[in-house]
């Protein structure tokens, strides 16, 4: 199950999706058991911004039949607070640390990348591209030129692997992925949440304090599969696939669609150990498919999937 991703050794290919597993709160709740049985092969932080953010007004969540909408609004302590309080705690985790950053201009993203570039605790950086550039009003990851310009700006600032986290709310996601690759990204991750809305059944008004929110969970898994397949066919970079993963089968499907790693997000809200269960189920599927005799179509794909995962 071990895998090498952008030069980082991982025990298995299952990591967390940014913003869906609070490792510091989990450590408080579960103590050292969390460190002994950490559910992910790497830990991805919630998005860090330059200035502290309160996040969106409540309500912030809405449950859907196959998932949920969130309008959390990226509350965080800001760069200085993060470096002083969160990073030292997260550095104690037994797995490589990936810091997810977002800025409202190229300069802001550059400052964040430069700050984390100097920290030995940080193995890689994930750039959350689902953010409007206040200088031009375009969402950075919705426009290939914006994406390329951002990557070209931050690439010289760090030798650490840069993972571009793509937004699914773009008309041509593979074109954005190509722009990220051309700009110097080492890997891409997808999908982030899809924009959605819920109405208060009593008033007919938007339920979420942020009016719209991000949709995630099992209901988005078919979209994730399609976008991971399209992006991994369009570029020659490692891909982190996510969107609705709640079982080893979901993870296996994303690997078959072209992902190199898989991230578990919304499923961790129901079960904080979901990541470990997904990894165990995936291991079983991969060992079964690696040793099975070929069946038309299916087993050959399974062996290829096992090969993708075990290559290092
Ligand atoms: C409550 C919540 C908070 C999230 N916060 C972030 C975040 O801070 N940064 C980010 O890049 N993605 C964030 N995401 C998106 C997830 O990382 C992931 O891309 C998305 O939820 C799809 O995966 P899933 O269906 O398994 O949840 C968040 C998702 C949820 C549900």
Residue among 18, 125, 137 at smallest CA distance from 76: 18
Under 8 Å between Cβ of 112 and 138? no
Percent of the chain whose pLDDT exceeds 90: 87
For the chain, which residues make up each domain, given as ranges? 3-310
pLDDT at 69: 96
* Reported confidence tier of residue 311, pLDDT bands at 50, 70, 90: very low
pLDDT at 296: 38
Ligand 1 binding residues, C-beta < 6 A: 17-20, 46-47, 70, 72, 74, 100, 128, 165, 191-193, 214, 216-217, 220, 242-245, 264-266
Cα 267 from Cα 265, distance rounded (Å): 5
Cα 58 to Cα 64, 73, 198, 249: the distances in Å are: 17, 10, 13, 35
Whether 298 shows a pLDDT value over 80: the answer reads: no
CATH architecture under which domain 3-310 falls? Alpha-Beta Barrel (3.20)
User: Per the confidence metrics, is the pTM higher than 0.85?
Assistant: yes
Cα 54 from Cα 76, distance rounded (Å): 7
Residues 259-271: b if buried by 16+ CB within 10 A, e if exposed: bbbbbbbbbbeee
- For a mutational test of ligand 1's pocket, the pick from 14, 15, 16, 18, i.e. the residue with the most ligand atoms closer than 8 A to its C-beta, is 18
pLDDT in tens, 4-56: 999 999 999 999 999 999 999 999 999 999 999 999 999 999 999 999 999 99
Name the pairing type of β-strands 122-128 and 162-165: parallel
Listing DSSP states for the chain in one string gives --EEETTEEESSSEEEPTTS--HHHHHHHHTHHHHHT-SSSSEEPPPB-SS-B--PPSP-EEEETTEEEE-----B-HHHHIIIIIHHHHTTSSS-EEEEE--SSHHHHHHHHHHHHT-TTEEEEEEE--SB-TTT--BGGGSHHHHHHHHHHHGGG-SS-EEEE--SSSS-HHHHHHHHHHHT-SEEEE--PEEE--B-TTT-SBSSTTSSEEEESGGGHHHHHHHHHHHHHH-SS-EEEESS--SHHHHHHHHHTT-SEEEE-THHHH-TTHHHHHHHHHHHHHHHHHHSPP-TTHHHHHHHHHHHHH--
Whether 217 shows a pLDDT value over 50: the answer reads: yes
Helices 106-117/144-154 angle, 10° precision: 40
Q: How big is the CA angle at 237 (ends 231 and 240), to the nearest 5 degrees? A: 65
Instruction: Classify the C-alpha dihedral 289-311-94-167 as positive or negative.
Output: negative
Distance 219 CA to ligand 1 centre (A): 14
Look at 81-85, 157-161, 287-291 and tell me which has the smallest mean pLDDT: 287-291
* Reported confidence tier of residue 135, pLDDT bands at 50, 70, 90: confident
Whether 303 shows a pLDDT value over 90: the answer reads: no
List, by residue number, the catalytic residues.
131
Whether 308 shows a pLDDT value over 60: the answer reads: no
Nearest CA to ligand 1 atom 22: 243
Residue among 195, 214, 289, 285 at smallest CA distance from 14: 285
Nearest CA to ligand 1 atom 18: 192
Q: In what order do the strands lie in the sheet with 67-70?
A: 61-64, 67-70, 213-216, 194-196
Cα 27 from Cα 24, distance rounded (Å): 5
């Amino acid at each position: 199950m071990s895998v090498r991703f952008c030069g980082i050794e991982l025990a298995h290919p299952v990591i967390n999706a940014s913003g869906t597993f609070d490792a510091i709160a989990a450590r408080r709740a579960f103590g050292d058991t969390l460190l002994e049985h950490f559910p992910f092969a790497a830990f991805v932080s919630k998005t860090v911004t330059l200035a502290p953010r309160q996040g969106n007004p409540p309500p912030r969540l809405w449950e859907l039949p196959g998932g949920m909408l969130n309008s959390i609004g990226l509350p965080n302590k800001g760069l200085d607070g993060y470096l002083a309080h969160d990073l030292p705690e997260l550095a104690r985790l037994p797995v490589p640390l990936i810091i997810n950053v977002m800025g409202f201009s190229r300069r802001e993203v550059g400052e964040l990348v430069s700050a984390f570039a100097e920290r030995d605790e940080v193995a890689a950086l994930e750039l959350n591209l689902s953010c409007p550039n206040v200088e031009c009003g375009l969402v950075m990851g919705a426009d290939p030129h914006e994406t390329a310009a951002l990557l070209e700006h931050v690439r010289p600032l760090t030798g650490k692997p840069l993972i571009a986290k793509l937004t699914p709310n773009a008309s041509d996601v593979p074109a954005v992925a190509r722009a990220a690759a051309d700009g110097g990204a080492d890997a891409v991750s997808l999908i982030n949440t899809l924009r959605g809305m819920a109405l208060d059944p009593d008033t007919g008004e938007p339920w979420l304090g942020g009016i719209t929110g991000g949709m995630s969970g099992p209901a988005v898994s078919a979209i994730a599969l399609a976008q991971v397949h399209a992006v991994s066919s369009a570029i020659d970079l490692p891909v982190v696939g996510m969107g609705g993963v709640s079982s080893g089968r979901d993870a296996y499907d994303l690997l078959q669609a072209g992902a190199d790693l898989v991230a578990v997000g919304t499923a961790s809200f129901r079960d904080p150990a979901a990541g470990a269960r997904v990894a165990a189920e995936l291991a079983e599927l991969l060992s079964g498919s690696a040793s099975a005799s070929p069946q038309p179509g299916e087993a050959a794909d399974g062996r290829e999937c096992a090969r993708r995962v075990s290559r290092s």
